[in-house]
Amino acid sequence: MREYLEKVVDQCETRYHLQLLFPDTPFVLHFQCGTSGHSLSISNKGCNVLPDPHPDPNLTITAGDVRRLIALLEGNERLTSLVDKKEIEVRGGYRHLLFAESVLWLTRFHMVEPVSV
């Protein structure tokens, strides 16, 4: 799952217009699946995958199946959609949930098809 988080970090760093939305203090998003967990730090100073899970994240996303988290990180599913379907559990504030969903949706990787004129 770490490689998917690294892709999110790459997208955060290459999409400069999104950095205006990022907070001054790091927003820590933690992903938990079974016994493995990974934390992502997002701020206007940079985004990175933390080497160890953060003890006090702003938002924790827990899934029983890693495929749900991968679908979320790839941009195939929205965070609130997965929560509504009870496929993942989120612990944190509503504003944090909306911020995380926005970042994950706006950093999703998608192919741009050329337009012929």
Q: Is residue 113 domain-resident?
A: no
Report the percent of the chain where pLDDT is more than 90: 65
Q: Is residue 111 domain-resident?
A: no
Q: Is residue 68 domain-resident?
A: yes
Report in angstroms the alpha-carbon separations of 101 from 19, 97, 112, 113.
15, 6, 22, 25
- DSSP for residue 42: E
Q: Which of 112, 110, 108, 107 is nearest to 18 (CA)?
A: 107
- Cα angle for residues 93, 101, 105 (degrees, 5° grid): 170
Residue 7 confidence (pLDDT)? 92
Domain that residue 66 falls in: 2-106
Q: Is residue 60 domain-resident?
A: yes
Q: How many domains does the chain have?
A: 1
Q: Is residue 117 domain-resident?
A: no
With cut-offs at 50, 70 and 90, classify the pLDDT of residue 99.
Answer: very high
Q: Is residue 48 domain-resident?
A: yes
- CATH code of the domain covering residue 26: 3.30.1050.10
With cut-offs at 50, 70 and 90, classify the pLDDT of residue 102.
Answer: very high
